[in-house]
Amino acid sequence: MRLYFITGADAIHQIMSWKEPERLLSLCDFVAVTRPGYQKNQMFEEIGEIQEKYASRIHYMEVPALAISSSDIRTRAQRGMPIQYLLPQEVEDYIHKFGLYQNERKDEVKFMLPIEVMQEKLQSALSVKRYIHTMGVSEEAVRLAEIYGTQADRQKAKVAGLLHDCAKDYPKELRQRFCKEYKVKMDDILEQQPDLIHPFLGAEVAKREYKIKDEDILNAIRYHTTGRAGMSVLEKIVFIADYIEPNREQFEGLDEARRLAYLDLDMAMRFILEQTIEFVKERGRLLHPLSLEALEYYKNR
Ligand SMILES: [Fe+2]
Ligand SMILES: [Fe+2]
C-alpha cells in the first residue's frame, strides 16, 4: 500500500524545515496541490531540487478552485476571525469547542519594532565582529529556549540575544552621556571597570531605543555578564548563549560549557560562573558582587 500526503503546493517549499524531512519523504508520496495564482514554475524548480536530493516522489495536481489554505484557517482561528465555510461545520465546532490554536495566540510576543528594524539599528551600532557574535548569541539562545522554554521564550530569547550587547560598542563619550541621560546607577566597580557597564546600559538602551517593554528581556540583557542569584530561564539562556555561541573561538572550558548547557541550565550556570570568576581573578580585575552571589546560589542548586 502506498501512502499519499496531499498538501498545498506552498507547503512543499517548507518540507525541508519539517522534522526529519528525509524520513517523511521516504514514508509517503507527496501530492502538491496548487491554488489559483500560484507560481507553478517556481514550484517545479523546488520539486526538482527535492526530488534530486531525496529521490522522493512528489506529484503535482492542479485544482483551480481550491483557494482555502489550512495555515490561513489556523491564523484566522488564532486571531478570532470567522472560519465559517472554509471547512466542514463539524471541524469548526471542534476547533471552537477545544479552543484549538488559541494557545499560540496567547503565547505570541509583540514587539514595537520589527526584528528586522532592530537588526538594522544594531548593524549601525556595532562592529562587524560584534554583530556576528550577536547573531550567534541570538541563534544559540533560541536553540536553548526550544529545549527549556515556551514558544514565548523562543521569541524573547531571539530578541534578548540580539540586543544583549547593544550598548557595548559605544564610544566613551556616548556611553557616559547615555549613562547620565538614562540614569544608569553607577557604583565603585562600574566606575573602575567600564567593561561591566554595557549590560546595565544595554537594558536601558533596549527599553528606550529598541522599545522593549518586557521586563524579562530587559533583565536578561542587564544580567548577561554578571549573572545574579535566582535568574529566570530566559536570563540563564542569554547568559549561557553569550558564552557558548557558535562563533566563539575555541577556549578552555568552551566544550564543557556547551555540553552542560544542553544537559542542565543550572549546572551550566555554575560552571560558567566559576570559569569567569577564575578568569577575572587571574587578570587582577574586579569582581562584581552579583557574580559572587550568583555562584553561591548555583553552587547550592
Ligand atoms: Fe556582553
Ligand atoms: Fe556578548
| Mean per-residue pLDDT pooled into runs of 10, the chain (301 residues) | 82 73 82 71 67 69 69 79 84 81 66 93 96 97 93 92 97 94 92 93 97 96 97 97 97 97 97 96 93 95 84
What pLDDT does 296 receive?
A: 96
How far is Cα 92 from Cα 24, in angstroms, rounded to an integer?
28
pTM for this model (two decimals):
0.67
What pLDDT does 94 receive?
A: 86
Nearest to 202, CA basis, from 172, 180, 224: 224
Residue ranges with CB less than 5 Å from ion ligand 2: 165, 242
Compute, in angstroms, the gap from residue 277 CA to the centroid of ligand 2.
Answer: 16
What pLDDT does 235 receive?
A: 97
Compute, in angstroms, the gap from residue 108 CA to the centroid of ligand 1.
Answer: 27
Residues 6+ apart with CB under 8 A from 208: 182
How far is Cα 134 from Cα 137, in angstroms, rounded to an integer?
5
How far is Cα 103 from Cα 206, in angstroms, rounded to an integer?
28
Residues 6+ apart with CB under 8 A from 137: 161, 162, 164, 165, 238, 241, 242, 245
pLDDT over 90 percentage in the chain: 57
Residues 6+ apart with CB under 8 A from 222: 199, 200, 202, 203
Ligand sitting nearest the alpha carbon of 161: 2
What pLDDT does 35 receive?
A: 66
How far is Cα 224 from Cα 211, in angstroms, rounded to an integer?
19
Phi-psi region of 38 (alpha: psi -120 to 50; beta: other; left: phi over 0): beta
- The mean predicted confidence, pLDDT, of the chain is 88
Helix/strand/coil percentages in the chain, nearest 5: 60, 5, 35
Nearest to 112, CA basis, from 102, 104, 121: 121
Compute, in angstroms, the gap from residue 238 CA to the centroid of ligand 1.
Answer: 10
Ligand sitting nearest the alpha carbon of 168: 1
If you search the block for the grid coordinates 469548526, which residue do you land on?
92
Compute, in angstroms, the gap from residue 220 CA to the centroid of ligand 2.
Answer: 12
Ligand sitting nearest the alpha carbon of 137: 2
What pLDDT does 43 receive?
A: 65
Nearest to 160, CA basis, from 215, 86, 89: 215
If you search the block for the grid coordinates 550577536, which residue do you land on?
134
Q: Give the cell for residue 196.
A: 561591566
Ligand sitting nearest the alpha carbon of 136: 2
**What pLDDT, in 10s, does the model give residues 168-214?**
999 999 999 999 999 999 988 998 999 999 999 999 999 999 999 99
Residues 6+ apart with CB under 8 A from 74: 101
What pLDDT does 275 receive?
A: 97
Are 47 and 77 within 8 A, CB to CB? Answer: no
Residue ranges with CB less than 5 Å from ion ligand 1: 165
What pLDDT does 82 receive?
A: 81
